[in-house]
């Protein structure tokens, strides 16, 4: 009841303006003289009144949580308003521990910050808040903020995860959350890794559909239709966003940098299993070497941490089985 009373100004401004406008048109249509002299000025005052209520509502909803200064954009006002209702005083404090690579000292340093969150705050929200309000030297890599670009991978509470998809409240332990850069990639600064080697490995497996006829490859003259069954052969492996989390989770990548790793191998299978590809067994032959398929020890950590449900561990076993089958042929 209390909530609906609070919403009255919002409803009044939403419905008041269109109702008054309809009244103005109708009154002018039926009583033009009375309308011009009396009704339209009154309606104009009413429009101004409801317009001001609407502006006040927009201003109030685009607020900053008191004491936490975590900004909310206009799309999140509804969520933030609900969080205010659920969390006492609309805020909860927790400590974020950031292990970051200090370039000048060439070693890891630890910073702790107390921050205010609500139940929708992500790790990336907090890091951006710290960067904008407390320490603008903090380096983070991110782009889409929605689990699509794969840029914000880091180690959160000891597990490789995407910062933009990690809810703080759900993952905090004893009101504390720890973040660190991924360790399987060379460190550049703070939470940012160097992905050159990762992309080189990815490129080395020819990650594109191959056609023997080069004209057809680049200027295809027909559609290559596939059945649902053919699509399902490769589809789960095509969801990779190249975040590199599987590489960071893999114990072999962490001990043997020459191992090509789960991400490129899953993509070998993705293209090998695609009925439109014409590279065939040559794809598998490229990785049928010790530093390729045969370094995988099937720990399965890659598949566990993948935020997109790609299953590199299974892809690698399927490649191994195919390679073995080719040997017997």
**From residue 251, how far is each of 148, 179, 256, 257, 298 by CA, in Å?**
25, 19, 9, 10, 10
- Residue (117 or 152) nearer to ligand SF4, CB: 152
Residue with tokens 């890794």: 193
Residues touching ligand FES: how many (CB under 6 A)?
12
- Residue 181 CA to residue 183 CA, distance in Å, equals 6
Measured in whole angstroms, the distance separating CA 174 from the mean position of its chain's CA atoms is 25
> Which one of 24, 83, 163, 242 is in contact with ligand SF4 (CB under 6 A)?
242
According to CB under 6 A, which one of 94, 126, 177, 240 is a site residue for ligand SF4? 240
Q: Which does 147 bind (CB under 5 to 8 A by kind): ligand SF4, ligand FES, none?
A: ligand FES
**Rounded to the nearest whole angstrom, what is the least distance from the CB of residue 265 to ligand SF4 in the complex?**
9
- Provide the minimum distance between the beta carbon of 257 and ligand SF4 in the complex, in angstroms, as a whole number: 17
- Whole-angstrom distance, CA of residue 10 vs CA of residue 55: 10
Question: Who's near 307: CB < 8 A, 6+ residues apart?
Answer: 147, 161, 162, 165, 241, 243, 245
Residue 126's binding partner out of ligand FES, ligand SF4, none, with CB under 5 to 8 Å set by partner kind: none
Q: Which does 263 bind (CB under 5 to 8 A by kind): ligand FES, ligand SF4, none?
A: ligand SF4
Residues in 284-313 that interact with ligand SF4 by CB under 6 A: 305-306, 308, 310, 312
Taking the complex as a whole, how short is the minimal distance between the CB of residue 270 and ligand SF4, in angstroms? Answer: 10
Of residues 243, 265, 273, 296, which one binds ligand SF4 by CB under 6 A? 243
| Contact pick of 50, 72, 101, 142 for ligand FES (by CB under 6 A) | 142
272 CB contacts (<8 Å, ≥6 apart)?
279, 280, 283, 284, 319, 322
Render 191-249 in DSSP notation, one character per residue: TEEP-HHHHHHHHHT--S---SSHHHHHS--S-----HHHHHHHGGGGG-----HHHHH
Element (H, E) at 315: helix 312-328
Q: Is 147 in the site for ligand FES (CB under 6 A)?
A: yes
Site of interaction with ligand SF4 (CB under 6 A): 240-246, 263, 266, 305-306, 308, 310, 312
Positions that interact with ligand FES (CB under 6 A): 142-145, 147-152, 162, 164
């Amino acid at each position: 009841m209390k909530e609906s009373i609070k919403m009255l100004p919002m409803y009044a401004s939403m419905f008041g303006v269109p109702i008054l406008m309809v009244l103005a048109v109708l009154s002018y249509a039926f009583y033009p003289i009375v309308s011009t002299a009396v009704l339209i000025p009154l309606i104009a005052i009413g429009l101004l009144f409801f317009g001001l209520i609407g502006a006040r509502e927009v201003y109030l909803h685009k607020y900053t949580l008191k004491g936490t200064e975590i900004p909310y954009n206009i799309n999140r006002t509804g969520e933030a308003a609900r969080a205010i209702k659920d969390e006492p005083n609309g805020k909860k404090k927790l400590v974020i521990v950031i292990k970051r690579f200090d370039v000048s000292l060439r070693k890891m340093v630890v910073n702790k910050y107390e921050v205010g969150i609500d139940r929708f705050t992500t790790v990336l929200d907090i890091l951006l808040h710290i960067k904008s309000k407390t320490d603008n030297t903090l380096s983070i890599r991110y782009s889409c903020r929605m689990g699509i670009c794969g840029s914000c991978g880091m180690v959160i509470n000891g597990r490789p995860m995407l910062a933009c998809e990690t809810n703080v409240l759900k993952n905090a332990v004893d009101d504390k959350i720890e973040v660190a850069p991924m360790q399987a990639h060379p460190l550049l600064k703070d939470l940012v890794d160097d992905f050159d080697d990762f992309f080189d490995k990815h490129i080395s497996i020819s990650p594109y559909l191959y056609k023997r006829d080069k004209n057809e490859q680049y200027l295809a003259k027909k559609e290559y239709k596939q059945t649902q069954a053919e699509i399902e052969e490769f589809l789960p492996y095509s969801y990779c966003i190249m975040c590199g989390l599987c590489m960071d989770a893999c114990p072999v990548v962490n001990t043997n940098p020459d191992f090509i790793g789960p991400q490129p191998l899953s993509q070998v299978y993705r293209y090998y299993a695609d009925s439109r590809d014409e590279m065939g067994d040559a794809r598998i032959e490229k990785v049928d070497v010790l530093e390729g398929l045969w370094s995988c020890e099937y720990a399965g950590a890659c598949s566990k941490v993948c935020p997109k449900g790609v299953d590199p561990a299974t892809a690698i076993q399927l490649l191994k089985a195919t390679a073995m089958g080719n040997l017997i042929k």
